[in-house]
């Protein structure tokens, strides 16, 4: 009785130590670039040239204040915020309506529509930019925030519909029968029953979509070419062009751009994990 | 009587169009952002300028694309990036399985290793430009541990630039794979693993023969998502890290389309390139449909 037990304990120890070593190694790998960005942002340039590894010595806030003064970071930050909030609200609303139709109704073209959404998730945005650019020039939206908001909404719809269809279909159908007996029409059922029950899925979707929009570069680069209309990501690449020889200043810029998502992550780690694994795990 | 009849009449016809009303807003956006551009890009790719200045249909753009060595180099570079998918998958699996063993502090490890995935690609790109620079941390480390002969100008060397970008992509995407696999592992039935342990299976036997087969669906899912990433979503890495250089050594299809469309001002070539990329991704669309449909069999 005792022998297998102690053998197992030794076995456990033999796997635990290498396991911890491997995990610590990968954790350091994951965290080091973030650490590097954070410490460099608070270093003076001579300090950075002398020692890239260590903590700032002396510690300076100069880069952060310079980044706010010299670039147009406050404007870009505000633009990113507007674009992210607007795209996420609109795309979630229209996707929820479409997903409700797919999950609750039987109609001609339902399977085709749903399959089209799945297929569209694969289309590279690079394929779409040129016709969209011509379109935005023609309707006078080029270099305005609505141009990228419209495009982000479109890009977010396929995944959002897919995720919400899978969630809506998992709700018990008895609930909807009961609602229709109580005299709710379909829109009432959507608004009063489906949406409140789907809050976890909606929050997850909002978080994942916000991450996508905040971090997106290609669309923003093509459609917002004027410096005062940029969002943070193309702004940062421009910032890098201007200040190539001031590495701590550039790291201050990337740090500022990163903080909102890191905060969102710290508060809602579970939401990220759920949103990103949704659809794959059933 | 008459009235009642007509009201049920409008009722059924409303019921028929009702689902389409719900679909309308999303459909309008999808038509503007996906369907119209796809039709337009195919159309533009087939237009060619004739000597008298009149545009006619033809395959000149495609001929020019297929004769262009840079096109083949860009396509090949996307192909080389696909090679990092197996490495990425194995590493993510390894970490997920180790965490699944409920080692002390697994939640902290999960949080830390997932962190890179929430960083913006341009941010990761800009940070790695410094880490991989000639006087960057990676070369400094190599010198410090006596491996000075390995020192490279990682992003400036034709030979090393793609492996360096691959490593950067793996750095960011690994957290996603780990979280995905871990979530699936935690939904597995514990009894089977315990039975394997009681039967005397060691750590590796247990996971290779019992765990992995049960993960095959989610592994397939991750591989497809990452193949899509390597073809359709690497622009931001390449743009911020190398702008496609040195030469065209790290130019990928997305970047080459963008260059033709906006830097070289050759919309015909850009469109033909885009159609070729679209054709390549069609293979992935088939895979994607198969996978996603399987997880949603009851829906459509």
Closest of B249, B241, B110 to residue B169, by C-alpha:
B241
Q: Which of residues 103-162 of B touch A (CB under 8 A)?
A: 103-104, 109, 111-124, 126-128, 130-131, 136-137, 140
State residue A278's pLDDT score: 66
Per-residue CA distances from B116 to A130, B169, B171, B178 (Å): 31, 10, 7, 12
Spatial separation of the C-alpha atoms in residues B130 and B96, rounded to whole Å: 29
Query: Helix (H, G, I), strand (E, B), or coil: what is residue B55?
Result: strand
Q: Which of residues 224-243 of A touch B (CB under 8 A)?
A: 233, 236-237, 240
State residue B296's pLDDT score: 58
Query: Chain B within 8 Å of A213 (Cβ-Cβ)?
Result: no
State residue A100's pLDDT score: 92
- Residue in this structure with the two tokens 């147009």, named with its chain if needed: A72
pLDDT tens by residue, A85-127:
999 999 999 999 999 999 888 888 898 999 999 889 889 999 9
pLDDT band at A3 (very low <50, low <70, confident <90, very high): very low
Bridge partners of B47?
B57
When pLDDT is averaged across residues A247-269 and rounded to a whole number, the result is 86
Element (H, E) at B238: helix B235-241
SS3 of B87-151: HHHHHHHHHHHHHHCCCCCHHHHHHHHHHHHHCCHHHHHHHHHHHCCCCCHHHHHHHHCCCHHHC
Contacts of A155 in chain B (CB under 8 A): 33
pLDDT band at A8 (very low <50, low <70, confident <90, very high): low
Contacts of B222 in chain A (CB under 8 A): 280
Query: Chain B within 8 Å of A81 (Cβ-Cβ)?
Result: no
Contact B119 A240 (CB under 8 A): no
Spatial separation of the C-alpha atoms in residues B30 and B202, rounded to whole Å: 52
State residue B60's pLDDT score: 85
Contact B183 A122 (CB under 8 A): no
Domains of chain B: 62-295 (1.10.3720.10)
Bridge partners of A278?
A281
State residue B2's pLDDT score: 41
Among the partner residues B118, B176, B274, nearest to A127 by beta-carbon distance? B274
Spatial separation of the C-alpha atoms in residues B235 and B232, rounded to whole Å: 8
Spatial separation of the C-alpha atoms in residues B180 and B33, rounded to whole Å: 29
When pLDDT is averaged across residues A40-68 and rounded to a whole number, the result is 84
Element (H, E) at B194: helix B190-198
State residue A219's pLDDT score: 95
Q: Is the pLDDT reported for residue A253 higher than 50?
A: yes
When pLDDT is averaged across residues A11-29 and rounded to a whole number, the result is 82
Query: Chain B within 8 Å of A153 (Cβ-Cβ)?
Result: yes
Question: How large is the ipTM?
Answer: 0.86
Contacts of B23 in chain A (CB under 8 A): 97-98, 101-102, 113
Among the partner residues A31, A215, A282, nearest to B115 by beta-carbon distance? A31
Q: Which conformational region is residue B102 in: left (phi greater than 0), alpha (psi within -120 to 50 degrees), or beta?
A: left
When pLDDT is averaged across residues A32-43 and rounded to a whole number, the result is 92
B211 to chain A, minimum CA–CA distance in Å? 15
Bridge partners of B48?
B56
A34 CB contacts (<8 Å, ≥6 apart)?
A: B115, B116, B119
When pLDDT is averaged across residues A211-228 and rounded to a whole number, the result is 92
State residue A99's pLDDT score: 94
pLDDT band at A238 (very low <50, low <70, confident <90, very high): confident
State residue A242's pLDDT score: 78
Q: Which of A31-35, A269-273, A277-281, B139-143 has the highest mean pLDDT?
A: A31-35
Task: Give the pair of three-digit tokens for residue B144.
Answer: 């410090």
First to last CA, chain A: 40
Q: Which of A21-35, A48-62, A193-207, B41-55 has the highest mean pLDDT?
A: A21-35
pLDDT tens by residue, A187-202:
888 888 888 888 888 8
Answering whether pTM is above 0.90, one says: no
Among the partner residues B30, B175, B285, nearest to A30 by beta-carbon distance? B175
Handedness of CA B101, B106, B110, B113 (dihedral sign): negative
State residue B8's pLDDT score: 45
State residue B285's pLDDT score: 82
Query: Chain A within 8 Å of B100 (Cβ-Cβ)?
Result: no
State residue B294's pLDDT score: 66
Mean pLDDT by 10 residues, chain B (300 residues): 43 79 94 96 86 77 91 94 95 91 82 91 93 87 84 89 95 91 84 80 80 85 88 93 90 95 90 94 82 58
């Amino acid at each position: 009785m005792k022998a297998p037990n102690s053998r197992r304990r030794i076995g456990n120890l033999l796997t635990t130590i290498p396991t911890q070593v491997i995990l610590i190694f990968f954790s350091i790998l994951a965290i080091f670039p973030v650490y590097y960005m954070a410490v460099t942002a608070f270093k003076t340039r001579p300090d950075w040239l002398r020692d890239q590894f260590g903590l700032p010595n002396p510690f300076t806030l100069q880069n952060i204040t310079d980044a706010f003064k010299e670039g147009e970071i406050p404007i870009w930050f505000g633009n990113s915020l507007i674009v992210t909030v607007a795209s996420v609200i609109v795309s979630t609303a229209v996707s929820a309506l479409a997903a409700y139709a797919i999950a609750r109704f039987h109609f001609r073209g339902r399977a085709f529509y749903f399959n089209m959404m799945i297929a569209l998730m694969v289309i590279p945005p690079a394929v779409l930019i040129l016709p969209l650019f011509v379109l935005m020039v023609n309707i006078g939206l080029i270099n305005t925030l609505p141009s990228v908001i419209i495009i982000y909404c479109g890009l977010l719809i396929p995944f959002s519909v897919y995720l919400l269809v899978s969630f809506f279909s998992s709700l018990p159908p008895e609930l909807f029968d009961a609602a229709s007996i109580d005299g709710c029409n379909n829109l009432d059922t959507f608004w009063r029953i489906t949406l409140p029950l789907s809050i976890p899925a909606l929050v997850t979707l909002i978080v994942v979509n916000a991450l996508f929009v905040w971090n997106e570069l290609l669309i923003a680069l093509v459609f917002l070419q004027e410096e005062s209309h940029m969002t943070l990501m193309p702004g940062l690449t421009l910032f890098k062009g201007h200040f190539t020889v001031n590495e701590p200043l550039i790291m201050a810029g990337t740090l500022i751009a990163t903080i909102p998502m890191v905060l969102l992550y710290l508060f809602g780690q579970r939401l990220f994990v759920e949103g990103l694994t949704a659809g794959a795990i059933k | 009587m008459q009235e009642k009849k007509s009201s049920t009449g409008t009722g059924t016809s409303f019921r028929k169009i009702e689902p389409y009303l719900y679909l309308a807003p999303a459909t309008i956006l999808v038509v503007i952002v996906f369907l119209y551009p796809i039709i337009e890009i195919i159309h533009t790719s087939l237009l060619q300028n004739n000597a008298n200045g009149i545009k006619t249909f033809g395959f000149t753009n495609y001929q020019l694309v297929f004769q262009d060595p840079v096109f083949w180099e860009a396509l090949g570079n996307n192909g080389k990036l696909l090679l990092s998918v197996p490495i990425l998958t194995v590493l993510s699996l390894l970490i997920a399985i180790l965490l699944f063993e409920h080692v002390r502090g697994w939640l902290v490890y999960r949080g830390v290793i997932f962190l890179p995935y929430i960083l913006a690609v341009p941010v990761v790109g800009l940070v790695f430009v410094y880490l991989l620079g000639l006087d960057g941390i990676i070369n400094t480390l190599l010198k410090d541990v006596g491996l000075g002969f390995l020192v490279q100008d990682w992003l400036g060397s034709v030979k090393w630039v793609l492996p360096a970008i691959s490593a950067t992509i793996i750095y960011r995407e690994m957290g996603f794979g780990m979280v995905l696999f871990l979530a699936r592992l935690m939904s597995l039935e514990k009894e089977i693993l315990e039975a394997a342990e009681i039967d005397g299976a060691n750590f590796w036997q247990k996971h290779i023969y019992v765990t992995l087969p049960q993960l095959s669906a989610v592994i397939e899912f991750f591989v497809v998502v990452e193949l899509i990433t390597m073809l359709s979503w690497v622009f931001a890495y390449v743009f911020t890290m190398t702008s496609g250089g040195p030469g065209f050594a790290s130019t990928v299809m997305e970047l080459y389309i963008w260059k033709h469309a906006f830097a070289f001002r050759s919309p015909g070539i850009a469109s033909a390139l885009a159609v070729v990329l679209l054709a390549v991704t069609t293979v992935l669309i088939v895979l994607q449909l198969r996978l996603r449909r399987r997880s949603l069999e009851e829906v459509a």
